[in-house]
Structures are given as structure tokens and as C-alpha cells.
Amino acid sequence: MKLAVVVQRYGAEINGGAELHARYVAERLSRHVEVEVLTTCARDYITWRNELEPGIDAVNGVPVRRFPVRRERDPDDFGRWSRRVFANRHSILDELKWMDSEGPRSPALVTHLRRAAATYDFILYFSYRYYHAYHGVRATRSQAVLVPTAERDPALGLAISARTFRGARALMYNSHEERALIHAVARNQHVPGVVVGVGSEIRGGASQARFRARTGIDDPFVLYVGRIDENKGCVELFDYFTRYAAEVSRRMRLVLVGTPVIEIPAHPRIRHLGFVTEEEKYDAIAAADTLVMPSYYESLSMVTLEAWAMRIPVLVNGRCDVLRGQVIRANAGLYYESYEEFAEALRLIETERGLRRALGANGRRYFNRHYAWSVVEGKYLAMLEHLERANRDGPRPRVEPEPGWLARRRRVQPPARDIVDRLPVGPAAKTWETGEFDTTGSAVSGAADTR
Amino acid sequence: MAEFNIRSDAVDVEQIMEQLRARLQEKRGVDYTEDQIRELANVKLDRFLDPKNVRSDLLEHFRRQNERSYAAADESMGVPAFEPEDVYRSSRGGIGRVLHALRRLLRPILKLFINPGPLLESVRNLSTHARLNEARNRRRAELDVLMYEVLNNLVVEMTRLAIDMKNHRMRVESVAARLDFDERRGRALEQIVQFRTNAAPSESGPAGDVAPPHDSNGESGGTDKRRRRRRRGRRRTGSNAAPAAEASAEAAGAREEAGASTPQNAGNEPAESAGPGSEAGAEPSGDTSEP
């Protein structure tokens, strides 16, 4: 079996969520099937500037074919189109122009997909919202398997997004909440889908003693790993923690790992370690009392899974459906929706050692059951085999007709933000065990109904 | 208060969160959501905006303004709405419609030379902003009138409160002065009693016979009557005046027994607060001065 993995950026040094996800999956699946990665020459996700050489390359033993991006992103143009499609009544043509302005627009990549589709058995597309996913899925319908990595953002409410979700041959979801969200917006229950997520490889030998010796931190601490950004909920985290430090605990510290985009408050108990190596990151997780994830929007938090793999409980933002759902299903952390809940939950984790240990153990069990690489690989391979059988024996999947010239120009699409605002909220029900692998849509519907 | 009951072997996160919320609820008395807190704050604001002396319909005006503030943005304002199609339209009736159709037909030719799309989009955005700004300015002007009224009421209330505070401060100072005087008087009386217990045995025999018998009004002789008449007009009323008057009368009697005013009580005024119930309250001497 030959598999193509299509993603907007690819490289060993590229650490964006979906890109890292794609690299992990490509590298792990390359042990079972032949894998080729198709991507652009861009490295920067804001400008999409061509920084890497076009042509064939290899990253960690996986062949990579790069295609140039035709145009860099113009932020003003992108902002203008975003306003048009997110806040106003618009046409499908407007949405396509929005997608072009978002980038990375690489017609060469789509042309290659169209011409060489027959040489691949399946094509795995990452990130629904980009040019390659929309045009690629349309060009290679019967082979297109989509890993949407969708969050609750306005792009989800676009008509072209719904078409992509309905047009793919199968979907590999990151979480139950993501699946419920996509079903609600695209009504694509008929498309086979499975909640997979991504595995994580925890290197052995993480040492909290090494971390404490290196940093000199002897007190208990709560750890944040990721981009230090307002969009990730860090401003709220700083506010809550400084209040907690003043009112509740005299020892607890906040340790930050990652690149800062916003200013970190100067507080004697907040420590920023900057960008660290993988080994240092795992040492920090091993030494932490808990990992905090304050983000409002996540399709899957990989660092949360890593913390669970290392028996560390997590404290997450309860307003993020995915994180809250994961924590409830795993029984491996607490969540908060206000400062009072944050303070109570953190105090509980800080003072109740037995609880901390029990939550950590649950996290480890949950990780082993659902996010060990063997499980994730097994789900991918099972889905591909299922599709191969269905393509060979079953009826051809129905194809949604393309909108005509006039239909594309008719301004009848409602503002995308309005659609997303109307979507159901809250964590999905505990259907993990029963609705695991769904190719008919029945169990999926059940999951959506129980919300 | 709800205590956490956590068994390490069987953790249920939802149950822990319920316990945690119950605990918070007990702490706060009631578990308010953010929306409820905002609602409470609004109620307080309403009360603030609606005191007795403020114009009765002011609150209604404010509420109406608030409701209109967002709805007004979409309403047709002085600045006309602009759509990219407008540049191709004509206002010449039937000929205008023909012209419009003709221009639309020729639009692709125009696009060969320039791309009017971004230009028209920018004009449209400017038009939208202008409309929004106009709506905002109009709302602002209407709100300013109401704000001025609230501000005026606030200033009036503040002035009234400042005057009240000044009056209260003066009253407190007055009460403090009286208290100070009473304390000094009390000390003087204690010294007189001490003097009597020390001096009486040497002149009149046993201590029990030192004071002559007083009547119920504390009168003790003709001299006392004269002095009492002189000071009657300056006496104030007071609920605690009677005991003080009795004590003063006792002190006066004691001094008469002693035969003369003593140097210890020169300058003290023990009978200043004697009330109508103790009109016969006696002065120890006529040459004392009030503070």
C-alpha cells in the first residue's frame, strides 16, 4: 500500500500542532506502508514564504516532495476577506477567495495530486482549512482521508469547509468533541470516521532530580508548556496564578516552557524557562505537580497526553470542550471555569497527594489504552484496510455535485461566525468505549444525541 | 462546609468537581455564575441611577439608549449605504436602467484596464464605517445629555453629603468637649470626696456626722440658695445630671462643714451639667470659671 501525506508545512524543526501531528503519523505509518509526504516550500505559517527548496527531500527517513507557494500571504487582504466571510452574508466564491488569501496557495501541489493520484492508494490530508485540503479532496475523492484538526473557530462555519468534510472518503478525528462539532456543521454522518488522535513517544529516563538541579526549583510547581500567547489563555492563567499565589499558597510556583508572544509578568513565583530541548521538557513534566492547559480552543493537546503518559495530572480550562471532555473521560485531571474553581482545584492537587497520584495513574492508563502508538497505528491501518475493501467490493461513495457558475456567485451564505456560534457546546458524552470505530455513522449519531 | 471525600483507588473527576463546586457554593453562600454577577451589578447600577430625587424616567432613558445602541448600527443613517454595484447604476429612470445594463455588460472591458474590486471594497468599508460612526456619534450626543443630568445629580448629592459631614464633625467635636469636661469634673469630685474623708474627722468628730442633713433637692443653706439662683439660667438639661447634682450638693455640704473653699478644687466646675431634676445642685464656690 502506498500512502501520501499532504500537509501545509513539513520539517523536523517545524513544531506547529497539525504539522507535528502529520510528521508523527507519517513516520509511524512508514513502518507499515510506503509513505510519501507532499507539502509546500514554506516554513513560516504567517507569510508562507518559500524558504525550502522545491523537489524531493527526506526527513527522518520519510521521502518528502515539496512544491512552491505561488503567493505570500497579504495580511490586509486576508483580514478583509476574513471580515467578509466571517461577519457578512457572502458567496462561495468569496470563501474561495478567502482561502486563496489565507494560503499557502500551491497549484503545483494540487496538479501533482491530480496527475499522480493513481500512484497512491490513499491520500491523507491534514488541516481542513487550507488550500491543499479543499482542492486536494475534490481532486482525489475516493482516496482522500482527512485529518481535520478542527477547532471551534469561524472557518468551521464556511460552506467550503462543510463540503470538504462531506467530500472526503473518511475522517480521522482527534476527539469526540471535534467529531460532534463537524457532524453538527456538515451533516456528514455518512462519511466513515474514527476518533484517533495522535500517539506520543515518551523517552525513558526523564528525571525530576535533573530538572531541579538544573533550574534550582525545589518548591512544588505547576507547569505550562506551549506558546505563551493570549490566544492560548495565558493572560488569564497569569491573573489566576498571581491571585492564587497571594491568597492561597505560599509555595506553589508557575513554570513556563515555550516561546513568549506576550509579556510575562514579573512575579517572584513565575519562572520562564524559554525554549527547551525535548529531554528538558520531559524532565520538567516529570518534576511538575500538575500540568496546566489554559487554552480555550484545542482540537487535541499533545502535551496533555504526554503529561498523562508520565503519570502527571492536568488542570485544564473547562470552557474548552475538548480538554474538559478528555479530562472527564480519562478521570485524570481537574478543570476550572472561574478563578474560584481554579484556586480550589489547584489547592486540591497541591495538598492531596493521594488524589494527585490517582489522577496520574488514570492518565497513564488512559494514554496506554487510547494513545499508545500501537493503538493509533492500528486505527489508521484498520481504517485504510476497511476503505480498501469498501472501494473494491462496495458501492462507490456518492459524490456531491459542484455548485455552478451562478451558484458560486450568489451571496446566500450566512456569516460563518453565526453558524459556529449556534453549534452545540460542552464535552461529548462518555461514548469512547462504545463508539470507538465507526464506519456507518450509527454510533456517531448516538454520540451526538447524548450531548 | 462540604469536605472532600477522595478515595485514591476510584477517582471520579465529575464527582470531585461537584464537591468542589458545593464547597465554593457554601463559601459564597450562593453559587453565582458570571452572568448572574453581571446582572447583580446592573441592579446596583439601576438603584444608583434611580434615587428619589433623580428624574423619574432617567433610568428608562438609559435603558432605551442601551437597547438602541446596537440596533441603530444597522439602521439607515444620514450617510447612504454603498454597494459596489452602485457605481454602475444611474438615476435617470428608464434610460438609467438601460445605462446600468450597458455598464454591466462593459464591466469586463473595464476590468481589462483596472481591477475596481479592491477599490470598491474599500469604499464600501469606508461607507460602513461612516455609517457606524454617525450612529455612534448620535447615540453619544443623546447619552451625553443623560450623563450630564446624572453628573449634576451626583454633584448635588455630594455637596449635600459634604455639608452633612461637616455638621456631624462639629457635633462630634462638641460631644468630645463635653466628655472631656465631664471627665475633669469627675476627677474634681473624687478629690473633694477624698478631702472630706481626710478633713472631717479633725473638725467635727466622727466621719458619719461630717455632712449636715440635706433635703431631697440637695439644699444646704442660705448661701447655697443664693449661688443657685445666680447660675440657674445657664444649666442644661441631661438625663445623667441628677446624680452629678447630688454629688455636687454633697460636696458643697462637705465644704461648708469644712468652713471655706479649699485650694484643691480651685478652677474646677463640678456642677455644670446639673439638670432641672437637680435644680438645687450647689456650687462649691462662686469664683470658679467654666471651661
User: What is the per-residue pLDDT for B37?
Assistant: 59
The answer as to whether A293 is a domain residue is yes
**How far apart are alpha carbons A428 and A120 in whole angstroms?**
35
Domains in chain A, number:
2
Q: What are the helix (H) ranges across B205-214?
A: none
The proportion of chain A whose per-residue pLDDT surpasses 90, expressed as a percent, equals 70
The answer as to whether A308 is a domain residue is yes
> B281: pLDDT confidence band, cut at 50, 70 and 90?
very low
For residues A139 and A46, membership in a common domain is answered with yes
**How far apart are alpha carbons B269 and B161 in whole angstroms?**
38
For residues A229 and A293, membership in a common domain is answered with yes
Contact B191, B265 (CB under 8 A): yes
The answer as to whether A22 is a domain residue is yes
User: What is the per-residue pLDDT for A276?
Assistant: 87
> B32: pLDDT confidence band, cut at 50, 70 and 90?
low
**How far apart are alpha carbons A44 and A143 in whole angstroms?**
29
Higher-confidence position of B96 and B290: B96
Cell numbers 439602521 correspond to B75
Q: Nearest CB to A355: which of B11, B23, B28?
A: B11
**Residue type present at position B72:** A
Average pLDDT, chain B: 66
| Residue A104: cis peptide before it, omega within 30 degrees of 0 | yes
Whether residue A340 and residue B121 make contact (CB cut-off 8 A), yes or no, is no
For residues A134 and A223, membership in a common domain is answered with no
CA quadruple B27, B29, B35, B39: dihedral positive or negative?
negative
For residues A212 and A188, membership in a common domain is answered with no
pLDDT reading at A163 higher than 80: yes
The answer as to whether A127 is a domain residue is yes
Q: List chain B residues with CB under 8 Å of A426.
A: none
Q: Which domain holds residue A399?
A: 2-199+372-421
- CATH number of the structural domain spanning residue A191: 3.40.50.2000
The answer as to whether A436 is a domain residue is no
**Residue type present at position A244:** Y
Cell numbers 480550562 correspond to A317
Stated pTM of the model: 0.60
- The mean pLDDT value for A226-240 works out to 91
Q: What count of Cα atoms within 13 Å lies in the side-chain half-sphere of residue A309?
A: 21
For residues A117 and A93, membership in a common domain is answered with yes
Which among A149, A150, A141, A191 has a CA at the least distance from the CA of A171? A191
> B269: pLDDT confidence band, cut at 50, 70 and 90?
very low
**How far apart are alpha carbons A73 and A164 in whole angstroms?**
22
How far, in whole angstroms, is CA A365 from its chain's centroid?
A: 22
Q: What are the helix (H) ranges across A49-130?
A: 75-87, 92-102, 107-116
**Residue type present at position B113:** F
Q: Residue A270 region, left (φ>0) first, then alpha (ψ -120 to 50), else beta?
A: beta
**Residue type present at position A447:** A
For residues A215 and A342, membership in a common domain is answered with yes
ipTM over cut 0.90: no
pLDDT reading at A122 higher than 90: yes
User: What is the per-residue pLDDT for B144?
Assistant: 84
Q: Mutation target for B interface from A329, A339, A344, A356: give the one with most B CBs within 10 A.
A: A344
- Coil vs helix vs strand at A105: strand
> B279: pLDDT confidence band, cut at 50, 70 and 90?
very low
The answer as to whether A440 is a domain residue is no
**How far apart are alpha carbons A348 and B4 in whole angstroms?**
9
**Where does a domain end: A329, A349, A370?**
A370
pLDDT reading at B1 higher than 90: no
Q: List chain B residues with CB under 8 Å of A358.
A: 6, 8-9, 11
Of A225-229, A327-331, A417-421, B162-166, the one with minimum mean pLDDT is B162-166
> B288: pLDDT confidence band, cut at 50, 70 and 90?
very low
User: What is the per-residue pLDDT for A116?
Assistant: 93
Q: How far is B90 from chain A (nearest CA, A)?
A: 23
User: What is the per-residue pLDDT for A286?
Assistant: 94
User: Tell me: the pLDDT tens digits for B51-100?
Assistant: 555 555 666 776 676 666 555 555 545 566 787 888 888 878 788 889 99
For residues A346 and A243, membership in a common domain is answered with yes
For residues A188 and A219, membership in a common domain is answered with no
Q: How many CB atoms lie within 10 A of CB B102?
A: 12
The answer as to whether A244 is a domain residue is yes
Of A96-105, A313-322, A330-339, B37-46, the one with minimum mean pLDDT is B37-46
Higher-confidence position of A294 and B62: A294
Residue of A nearest to B33 (CA): A338
User: Tell me: the pLDDT tens digits for B183-217?
Assistant: 999 988 888 887 766 655 544 444 444 344 444 44
For residues A222 and A308, membership in a common domain is answered with yes
The proportion of chain B whose per-residue pLDDT surpasses 70, expressed as a percent, equals 45
Higher-confidence position of B33 and A176: A176
The answer as to whether A445 is a domain residue is no
Q: How far is A27 from chain B (nearest CA, A)?
A: 35
- The mean pLDDT value for A392-405 works out to 81
For residues A56 and A72, membership in a common domain is answered with yes
For residues A270 and A377, membership in a common domain is answered with no
> B220: pLDDT confidence band, cut at 50, 70 and 90?
very low
User: Tell me: the pLDDT tens digits for A27-76?
Assistant: 999 999 999 999 999 998 889 999 999 999 999 999 999 999 999 999 88
For residues A268 and A128, membership in a common domain is answered with no
Contact A126, A5 (CB under 8 A): yes
